[in-house]
Amino acid sequence: MRQAGRYLPEFRETRAAQDFFSTCRSPEACCELTLQPLRRFPLDAAIIFSDILVVPQALGMEVTMVPGKGPSFPEPLREERDLEHLRDPATVASELGYVFQAITLTRQQLAGRVPLIGFAGAPWTLMTYMVEGGSSSTMAQAKRWLYQRPQASHKLLRILTDALVPYLVGQVAAGAQALQLFESHAGHLGPQLFNKFALPYIRDVAKRVKARLQESGLAPVPMIIFAKDGHFALEELAQAGYEVVGLDWTVAPEKARERVGKTVTLQGNLDPCALYASEEEIGRLVQQMLNDFGPQRYIANLGHGLYPDMDPEHVGAFVDAVHRYSRLLRQN
């Protein structure tokens, strides 16, 4: 996660020339940023460089990336009537052609070396940014909507779902070979709110994307759901229509496997901060993680994204350790 990121000097150099969302709108820049980590590390997949907030932008909201602060919406959603200003979700995919072009270009450049993963933010997570106007430690404004304006909240979540389905299908049509849905703010909801305002839309996205792919004559692709801090909903997520459930580092792998059963693939879940450890310690932690998950139906990953101050050498040590211990596990 965030394998194309600020921890790489070449990423910082490429990004320095233009602002964040201008970069996202340049297929050539996105392709270059996607490929950079693969030139450095023997990674097993590429993840298209983009951002989850291109969807609210395509719905007509202004979003800027403020250095040192993160995403900012100058005019967040404040009242139910603000929903009327959003564009028709059916037009979103046509607004995001630059993402599809980036995917196609990157697939061509990869020439089959590794698969390319596309992604989007899940409806609840996108709603939090649109209502909060940026990042928040409590999501109090977005949760206020859930409690005070449940109908308007469902209306907004439906709009976002209706936008996400053609967007994700468009990514596959453009060449994405797997899709990941990020419910990054799952942890701000307890089980009740999650089951009411997040899970139904997570399920709906998977179901409708798969149906639309079939209708369009496109081959199905694996879908990954990553709900950060959503450990209270592991069983539900495992049955939500996704082939893979991503785990953050707060979940014990053996317990997760017991809870989700044998038919779902798990992805994760090393604490990203473990990459601050020595390379020897990283190797030990990776060995422990692989032993805990076991060799079947498992994709090794971090439990969340890389941080800008991480040493690329340590990222390399992580990747190498995964490959080394994977071979040992399979031999045994």
Flag whether 268 is in a domain: no
At 75 the pLDDT is 98
Share of the chain above pLDDT 70, in %: 100
Q: Is residue 212 among the annotated active site residues? A: no
pLDDT in tens, 66-102: 988 999 999 999 999 999 999 999 999 999 999 999 9
Average pLDDT for residues 217-226, to the nearest whole number?
98
Q: Is residue 292 among the annotated active site residues? A: no
Average pLDDT for residues 278-293, to the nearest whole number?
98
Burial of 93 (0-12, 13-18, 19+ CB in 10 A): buried
Flag whether 137 is in a domain: yes
Can you read off the two tokens belonging to residue 127?
């709603």
| Residue 13 CA: distances (Å) to CA of 5, 34, 36, 95, 98 | 11, 14, 11, 28, 22
Catalytic residue among 7, 25, 107, 129: 129
CATH (domain of 134): 3.20.20.210
pLDDT classification of 17: cutoffs 50, 70, 90: confident
Q: Is the peptide bond before 332 cis (omega within 30 degrees of 0)?
A: no
Output the average pLDDT for the chain: 97
Share of the chain above pLDDT 90, in %: 98
Flag whether 133 is in a domain: yes
Coil, strand or helix at 95: helix
Is 158's pLDDT higher than 90? yes
Contact assessment for residue 71 and residue 19, using Cβ atoms and an 8 Å cutoff: no
d(CA 240, CA 306): 27
- Indicate if the alpha-carbon torsion angle 295, 298, 299, 303 is positive or negative: negative
Domain range enclosing 55: 9-246
d(CA 18, CA 30): 12
Q: Is residue 15 among the annotated active site residues? A: yes
Which amino acid, one-letter code, is at 261?
G
Q: Which residue has the tokens 């020595």?
A: 278
Burial of 181 (0-12, 13-18, 19+ CB in 10 A): buried
Catalytic residue among 7, 25, 51, 242: 51
Q: Is residue 129 among the annotated active site residues? A: yes
| Residue 4 CA: distances (Å) to CA of 9, 112, 197, 309, 320 | 11, 19, 31, 13, 18
Tally the domains of the chain.
1
Can you read off the two tokens belonging to residue 264?
């779902």
Torsion of CA 252, 254, 260, 263, to 10 degrees: 140
Flag whether 107 is in a domain: yes
Can you read off the two tokens belonging to residue 21?
């969302």
- Edge-to-edge strands of the sheet including 265-270? 46-47, 116-121, 178-183, 223-227, 244-246, 265-270, 298-302
Secondary structure element (H or E) that encloses residue 21, with its range: helix 20-24
Can you read off the two tokens belonging to residue 236?
């539900």
Catalytic residue among 15, 25, 107, 203: 15
pLDDT in tens, 166-180: 999 999 999 999 999
At 67 the pLDDT is 87
Average pLDDT for residues 258-286, to the nearest whole number?
97
Is 268's pLDDT higher than 90? yes
At 241 the pLDDT is 98
At 148 the pLDDT is 98
Strand partners, 203: none
Q: What is the DSSP string of 131-198?
A: HHSB--SS-HHHHHHHHH-HHHHHHHHHHHHHHHHHHHHHHHHHT-SEEEEEETTGGGS-HHHIIIII
Flag whether 239 is in a domain: yes
∠ at Cα 325 (291, 271), nearest 5°? 60
At 221 the pLDDT is 98
Flag whether 168 is in a domain: yes
Can you read off the two tokens belonging to residue 83?
């929903």
Flag whether 303 is in a domain: no
Strand partners, 134: 72
Contacts of 40 (CB under 8 A, 6+ apart): 8, 312, 316
Average pLDDT for residues 227-252, to the nearest whole number?
98
Average pLDDT for residues 2-26, to the nearest whole number?
96
Is 144's pLDDT higher than 90? yes
Flag whether 75 is in a domain: yes
Contact assessment for residue 274 and residue 283, using Cβ atoms and an 8 Å cutoff: no
Q: Is residue 324 among the annotated active site residues? A: no
